[in-house]
Amino acid sequence: MLQIVFIERNVLTQTVEKYFCERLLSQDASGEWSMRHLLNTLFVLSEDIYLSLENENIIAWKEKKVAQKIPLLNLENILYFGYKGASPTLLGECAKRKIGFCFLNQNGKFLARVCGASYGNVFLRKEQYRLSDDERQSCEFAKYMLIGKIYNSRTTLMRTLRDHPMSVNQERFREVIGSLKQSVGEVQRAENLEELRGIEGNAAQLYFSIFDDMILADKKSFFFYERNKRPPMDRMNALLSFTYTILAHDCASALESVGLDSYVGFLHRDRPGRVSLALDLMEELRSMYADRFVLTLVNNRIIGAKNFQIMENGAVWLNKDGRKLLLNKWQERKRETVTHPFLGEKILWGLIPYVQALLLAKFIRKDLDGYPAFLGK
């Protein structure tokens, strides 16, 4: 069965659009405005689909027959989960139009991204590289993102304690919430990246130590003992790993769109093929954006045991129906609105990575005195 999920376009409201046009629009080196809408995302879930380009349309081929035609116009991202691939002409056109094209295997493991020529401000990237090479400066940048991560992890726990006090160990939750508050202070006092990574690791361990308590439905099928990956060994870890992969792609696309190099980070150091700055940016969004999304799927019984497959080696992956369900719900989530804590305006969830990337670029250019991490409620 052909599985192509085409997510319909959803644009900003007039109020938010006016706000961004007045306060956040800036021109890049080519003279183009950096404002953008939340456009369409194309997910190709069938294994045996080959994509090519004809005029202004993507042609999806299945068994040498045209299965579907999708206009390139208004496409923002393409996530391809098959194995037959895409034509060089299509990949080149996507790179030219700055349409993100990401290859993943059927289990959601990242394989490759298509990157075109960079049209960002060269001075912005040179400053990014200079700061990344300076460990002291990198440490200061990383602090903003880790404070955001720990703050949001703490907020997620506080929200669960408030909404479901009878379903959790209240004493243990308050203990972890208090410890995470101390971790924020430790981050502020840290003097180097190694120290920061130690604090971040301890905070993550605390957070995940009571993550299982936030799972409120179908505890027989969904449980969490520890974070495991490569491969995930239970359904919750399978959900988290898959969702983190999609979020990392969104963050990488957002960073590239504002002229930053998604492969050169501050907390995550350079490694071939790793989008280090995207991983930095997604730290503050993990609990608010991804973890809450996964918990909602499970606690509202939107996703169930039937949406997973267990392999002979014990690895657990989402099956085809599970991936399709998750991706559809992910796009629905991106169309919801949230009040940005720094801007004080309502924007779409799907634009949060882009807005944060834009604020990060402004901080690197010294247009802002600090980087305002996304602090949720």
How far is C-alpha 188 from the geometric centre of its chain's CA atoms?
Answer: 25
Residue 156 shares a structural domain with residue 281: yes
Please tell me which residue, 48 or 329, carries the higher pLDDT value.
329
d(CA 199, CA 372): 20
User: Which has the minimum average pLDDT: 9-23, 166-180, 291-305?
Assistant: 9-23
- Gap between the Cα atoms of 173 and 49, Å rounded: 47
Question: How high is the pLDDT of residue 116?
Answer: 67
Q: Residue 70 has what pLDDT? A: 86
Residue where the block lists tokens 């080959």: 50
Q: What is the pLDDT of residue 39?
A: 58
Measured CA angle at 367 (ends 366, 372), to 5 deg: 90
Residues 102 and 200 placed together within one structural domain of the fold: no
Give yes or no for a contact between 145 and 281, defined as CB atoms under 8 angstroms apart: yes
Residue 28 has pLDDT above 50, yes or no: no
User: Which residues, 6 or more positions from 214, have their beta carbon under 8 angstroms from its beta carbon?
Assistant: 156, 157, 160, 168, 295
pTM of the model: 0.76
DSSP state string for 209-259? HTGGGG--S-TTT---SS---SS--SHHHHHHHHHHHHHHHHHHHHHHHTT
326 pLDDT tier (thresholds 50, 70, 90): very high
Task: Using the 3D structure, point to which of 89, 114, 139 is the last residue of a domain.
Answer: 114
In a domain, 199, yes or no: yes
Does 10 fall in a domain? yes
Where residue 33 falls (left for φ over 0; alpha for ψ -120 to 50; beta otherwise) is: beta
**Phi, psi of 157, rounded to the nearest 5 degrees:** -65, -40
168 in any annotated domain: yes
What tokens does 42 get?
A: 């194309």
- Residue 314 zone, left/alpha/beta (φ > 0; ψ -120 to 50; rest): left
Q: What is the pLDDT of residue 209?
A: 94
pLDDT tens column, 194-211 = 999 999 999 999 999 999
Task: Domain of residue 315: give its range.
Answer: 123-364
Do 155 and 268 fall within a single domain?
yes
Tell me how crowded residue 166 is: count the other CB atoms within 10 A of its CB.
5
Whichever domain contains 58, its CATH number is 3.100.10.20
Q: What is the pLDDT of residue 255?
A: 87
More confident residue, 272 or 297: 297
Q: What is the CATH number of the domain that holds 141?
A: 1.20.120.920
Q: Is there a single domain that holds both residue 79 and residue 193?
A: no
Whether 134 and 249 map to the same domain: the answer is: yes
- Quick one: CA torsion of 220, 221, 222, 228, rounded to 10 degrees? 110
pLDDT in tens, 50-97: 999 998 889 988 888 888 888 888 787 787 877 788 999 999 988 888
* Residue 371 within a domain: no
Reported as a pLDDT band with limits 50, 70 and 90, residue 348 is confident
pLDDT value of position 136: 92
Would you state the pLDDT for residue 13?
Answer: 28
DSSP state of 287: I
162 and 62 fall within a common domain? no
Our count of domains for the chain comes to 2
Q: Looking at the domain assignment, is residue 372 inside a domain? A: no
Residue 348 CB neighbours (<10 A): 21
Phi, psi angles (nearest 5°) of residue 232: -70, 145
Q: How far apart are CA 43 and CA 9, in angstroms?
A: 14
Whether 245 is in a domain gets the answer yes
User: What percent of the chain is predicted at pLDDT more than 70?
Assistant: 86
- Which pairing describes strands 75-80 and 100-104: parallel, antiparallel, or unpaired? parallel
Predicted confidence band of residue 43 (pLDDT cuts 50, 70, 90): confident
* Structure confidence at residue 31 as a pLDDT band (50, 70, 90): very low
Same domain for 99 and 199: no
136 in any annotated domain: yes
Contact 69, 58 (CB under 8 A): yes
Task: Please report, for residues 10, 158, 201, the alpha-carbon distance to residue 173 in angstroms, rounded to integers and kept in the order given.
Answer: 38, 8, 18
**259 and 191 inside one domain:** yes
Q: Is the same domain home to 166 and 236?
A: yes
pLDDT at 198: 94
Give the model's pLDDT for residue 377. 82
The answer, yes or no, to whether residue 332 has pLDDT greater than 70, is yes
| 377 falls within a domain | no
pLDDT band at 111 (very low <50, low <70, confident <90, very high): confident
- Looking at the fold, whether 357 and 264 belong to one and the same domain comes out as yes
Task: State which of 58, 79, 114 marks the end of a domain.
Answer: 114
Does one domain contain both 100 and 131? no
* pLDDT, averaged across the chain: 83
3-state secondary structure of 17: helix
What is the pLDDT at residue 109?
A: 66
Q: In terms of domains, do 39 and 186 share one?
A: no
Q: Which of 94, 114, 134 is the last residue of a domain?
A: 114
